Amino acid sequence: MYRQLTGPDPLGRGAAAESPRYAALRPRTESADRVADSVCPYCAVGCGQRVFVRDEKVVQIEGDPDSPISRGRLCPKGSASLQLVTGPQRQEKVRYRAPYATEWTDLDLETAMDMVVDRVLDARERGWQERDEQGNRLRRTMGLASLGGATLDNEENFLIKKLFTALGAIQIENQARI
């Protein structure tokens, strides 16, 4: 009240109401070690994001004012992407559920990769079709399928399609058909 009456803030909405603790607070963005240019991972508007990093951790994600698409704005989803990236829901370990098991178990990443390689080769073999009934060449496998890709990078989708095509797997689909 005293500060309101004597200072430059008679309405008590600024300096007069500021506590020493508040005055000492700094935005997370200010103390960041670096900023990475990014793009919102949700819808296809493609809003620009700036990712603030401190001590190799993401500390804040904000809209990029330079973007001609979004001019700094983000919707609730884009604004919540710090939680998407740093939240406790993020899994960090490979998990494995054996046939008929009632719970997950842990698995080492490299072992899991080798197991997937075995299974891909087996499913490919069992679903292989060399020719159709008329004798036309098919050279493909129906034993394998894949769904996904609409939130993945173009470079990732490129390798996915390339590898599966070479394997003869054709049932490769994504959200674009859904």
Partner 1 sequence: MGSNMAEAHPVGFQWVIEAKARGARVIHIDPRFTRTSALADTYVPLRAGSDIAFLGGVINHVLSNDLDFREYVAAFTNASFLVREGFEDTEDLDGLFGGYDAETGTYERDCWQYEGADQEREEPEGASPDSPSGDDDSEMDKERTSPMGSGAAGAPLHGATNVATDPTLQHPRCVFQILKRHFARYTPEMVERICGTPREKFQAVCEAWASNSNRERTSALVYSVGWTQHSVGAQYIRAGAIVQLLLGNIGRPGGGVFALRGHASIQGSTDVPTLFNLLPGYLPMPTAGSHETLTDYLDDLRSPTQKGYWTGADAYLVSLLKEYFGDNATAENDYGYAWLPKIDGDHGTYRTVMDMVDGGKVFGYFLLGQNPAVGSAHGRLQRLGMANLDWVVVRDLAMIESATFWKDSPEIETGEISPQTCRTEVFFFPAASHVEKEGTFTQTQRMLQWREKAVEPTGDQRSELWFFYHLGRKLRERLAGSTDPRDEPVQKLDWSYRVDGSGEWPEPSAEDVLRRINGYRTRTGEPVDSYLELEADGSTACGCWIYSGVYADGVNQAARRKPHDAQGPYDRQWGWTWPANRRVLYNRCSADLDGKPWSERKKLVWWDADEGRWTGDDVPDFPATTPPRYEPPPDAVGPEALRGDDAFIMQADGKAWLFAPHGLLDGPMPTHYEPHESPVSNALYGQQGNPTRKVYGRTDNPSNPAPPELHREVFPFVLTAARLTEHHTAGGMSRQLPYLAELQPELTVEVSPELARIRGLTHLGTAHVVTSRAAVQARVMVTDRMSPLWIDGQVVHQIWMPYHWGGTGLVSGDVVNDLLGVVADSNVFIQESKVATCDVRPGPRPRGAALTAMLAQTRARAGVTVETGTRIATADDVPHVTHTEDDTAGGTDDGSTDDGSTGNSAGEQS
Residues that bind ligand SF4 (CB under 6 A): 40, 42-43, 45-47, 70, 74-75, 77-78
Window 67-96: contact mask with partner 1 (x via CB under 8 A): xxxxx-xxxxxxxxx-xxx-x-xxxxxxxx
Residue from 4, 16, 28, 146 binding partner 1 (CB under 8 A)? 146
> Cα(first)–Cα(last) distance of the chain, in Å?
61
Shortest-Cβ-distance residue relative to ligand SF4: 78
Question: Among residues 51, 45, 37, which one has the least CA distance to residue 69?
Answer: 45
Work out what residue 117 binds among ligand SF4, partner 1, none; the CB cut-off runs from 5 to 8 Å by kind.
partner 1
Work out what residue 113 binds among partner 1, ligand SF4, none; the CB cut-off runs from 5 to 8 Å by kind.
partner 1
62 lies in the binding site for partner 1 (CB under 8 A): no
* Contact between 172 and 146 (Cβ < 8 Å): yes
> Within 10 Å of residue 139's Cβ, how many Cβ atoms?
11
Q: Which of residues 100-139 bind partner 1 (CB under 8 A)?
A: 100-104, 107, 109-110, 112-117, 119-123, 126-128, 130, 132, 134-139
Using DSSP's 3-state secondary structure scheme, residue 32 falls into: coil
CB of 65 to partner 1, least distance (A): 8
Burial tier of 167 (Cβ tally within 10 Å: 0-12, 13-18, 19+) = middle
Cα 134 from chain centre: 45
